[in-house]
Amino acid sequence: MSINESQSKYPRRIVCLTEEPTEILYLLGEGDRVVGVSGYTVRPPEARSKPRVSAFTTAKYDKICALEPDLVIGFSDLQADIAAELIKRGVPVIIFNQRTVSEILQTILMTGALIGCAQKAESLVADLTSGLQAAERAARQHKCRPTVYFEEWMEPLISGICWVEELIEIAGGQPVFPELRQHRLARDRIVEPDVVARRNPQVIIASWCGRRLNPATIRNRPGWQEVSAVRHDRIYEIKSTYILQPGPASLTEGLEQLSKIIAAAALQVANERD
């Protein structure tokens, strides 16, 4: 039997357990290989028409197997149980666990190599790196670097994960909890409200997954009325889909929103000092 070499060497039917690999595959021009996606997939819009086979920590195993994938790609140690079950069922699985900007770029390169598109992946990473560098250059023109508290969750308060804090720095801000950025687990980034207030951030950015920001929730926290960001009405929201998923969107749309917020705040803070 003759086998087409290009089809035998690399996966052709890929299930993505989270949005990040879906977005990467489409940006590489290989969206036709995606046969199943996460139910939370937003980007790209055309991927939403694919069969939805998983949430973040649960999956429809029979539905996945019925799609006959030759590769399943996921993200996070929280998907370890899903991966284990699929492996038991004979499905090849790759779970990435990227938590930094450099790891996001590395994940893109590794994904490209897995599907035989290494050159495309290198080109995409070069474009993303160029965008990061451009944002960093622009931020150097700011008159100051405002202090930023990024809130990943509100009950309890959870500060920003590593790639978010790195992007804040690239955009020209100073995270107020730099010592917590390396903690991969959310429970290790829990902060007390009074500690946030004492650090007196000049900008507050909230990104509560599945919850919309009501600024009054932050303004009315006991002891926060004198926090600089509250006094000067610098409380912002970036939707989690743009910033809390460690894929290309965070490095583009997420960074763009951060840059706009921090640039405006830097100008305001500089004027307040004059």
**13-61 per-position pLDDT tens digit:** 999 999 999 999 999 999 999 999 999 999 999 999 999 999 999 999 9
Provide the pLDDT for residue 273: 80
Residue of higher predicted confidence among 66 and 43: 66
Q: What is the mean pLDDT of residues 82-89?
A: 98
Name the nearest CA neighbour of 191 among 158, 221, 155: 158
Q: How large is the greatest C-alpha to C-alpha distance in the chain, in angstroms?
A: 79
Q: Which two tokens stand for residue 123?
A: 């080109």
Q: Is the pTM of this model over 0.75?
A: yes
- Write the CB contacts of 108 (distance below 8 Å, at least 6 apart in sequence): 24, 121, 124, 125, 128, 248
| SS3 state of residue 203 | strand
Kindly list the structural domains of the chain, giving each domain's residue range(s) and its CATH number in brackets, ordered by start: 5-116 (3.40.50.1980), 143-273 (3.40.50.1980)
Map residue 51 onto helix, strand or coil: coil
Q: What is the pLDDT of residue 9?
A: 87
Specify which residues 15 forms β-bridges with.
36, 72
Give the closest residue to 30 by CA, choosing from 12, 43, 18, 46: 12
Distance CA(247)–CA(76), nearest Å, equals 12
In angstroms, rounded to a whole number, what is the distance separating the alpha carbons of residues 18 and 40? Answer: 7
210-250 confidence digits (pLDDT tens):
899 999 999 999 999 999 999 999 999 999 999 999 999 99
Q: Is there a contact between 246 and 98 (Cβ–Cβ < 8 Å)? A: yes
The alpha carbon dihedral of 272, 165, 245, 205 has a sign of negative
Q: Is residue 205 scored above 60 in pLDDT?
A: yes
Residue 62: Cβ within 10 Å count: 9
Tokens of 42: 């937003």
Tokens standing for residue 198 = 């004492």
Per-residue pLDDT tens over the stretch 87-138:
999 999 999 999 999 999 999 999 999 999 999 999 999 999 999 999 999 9
132 to each of 84, 139, 254, how far by Cα in Å? 36, 11, 11
- Judged on CB neighbours under 10 Å (0-12, 13-18, 19+), 215 is middle
Q: Are 18 and 56 in contact (CB under 8 A)?
A: yes
Closest CA to 56 of 20, 30, 27: 20
> How much is the pLDDT for 274?
62
DSSP assigned state of 160: P
pLDDT-derived band of residue 2, with 50, 70 and 90 as boundaries?
very low
d(CA 228, CA 147) in angstroms, rounded, equals 10
Percentage of the residues of the chain whose pLDDT score is greater than 70? 97
State the burial class of residue 20 (Cβ atoms within 10 Å of its Cβ: 0-12, 13-18, 19+).
Answer: buried
pLDDT of residue 58: 97
Q: What whole-number distance in Å separates Cα of residue 85 and Cα of residue 63?
A: 13
pLDDT at 89: 97
Whether residue 179 is predicted with pLDDT greater than 90 in this model: the reply is: yes
Q: How far apart are CA 75 and CA 18, in angstroms?
A: 6
CA 188 to chain centre: 18
Mean pLDDT of 180-195: 95
